Amino acid sequence: MPCEGIELTAIRSLQPQGHCQSIPSSLHDPSTSTTKKSTYLNLLQSLDYSQHSDFIMANSISPALLAAANVFGTILLGFGINAIVRPAHGLTFFEMEPPTGTADRKLVDNLMVVYGIRDVFMAVAIYSTSYYKARKPLGWCLLGVSGVAFTDGLVCYLNGKGEWAHWGYAPMVGGIGAILLGA
């Protein structure tokens, strides 16, 4: 039986897909008492829909969390474009010097393009999940960025310097990601 009726509009939006057929046909009948309809609607409202909270509250993200995520996305976009356009300067974020040999320099410049497009991809992933207010996917994107920042710091640590330039923001990004995931 299809879900119809003005009284059921609010409940229909709360019901997980496939549960509309459980609404008795008597609720559609104008002769059914208001008390009976009200009792049934109150019962439906009291049901636990917590397992469907992502469906019900899909757009419930704090504007501050969205803004913070987009700030990190913008920083990543800038880092990525910089690494693609100016590979030697991109190396300075790892406190490394470009090699002097032509073949080695070409290899490092090409690897910096790979590094740069990685950052651009992370920025686009953050922007798109933020735009659609996809709370959990945005949280996972930010946790991924945190893992990348930690790994970048580890590479710097293994090279002897610059790790805290990456490890300093990894917990901030990871914390916002964890909040978005509901942790």
User: What's the one-letter identity of residue 19?
Assistant: H
pLDDT tens-digit profile of 163-176? 999 999 999 999 99
Q: What is the pLDDT of residue 109?
A: 96
Q: What is the pLDDT of residue 38?
A: 73
Q: What is the pLDDT of residue 44?
A: 65
| Residue at token pair 């330039």 | 165
Q: What is the pLDDT of residue 1?
A: 43
DSSP 8-state assignment for residue 28: G
- Is the predicted pLDDT of residue 55 greater than 80, yes or no? no
Specify the pTM: 0.68
* E strand or H helix at 75: helix 63-85
Q: Would you call 12 exposed, middle or buried from its count of C-beta atoms within 10 A (0-12, 13-18, 19+)?
A: middle
Average pLDDT over residues 58-65: 81
pLDDT tens-digit profile of 72-130? 999 999 999 999 999 999 999 999 999 999 999 999 999 999 999 999 999 999 999 99
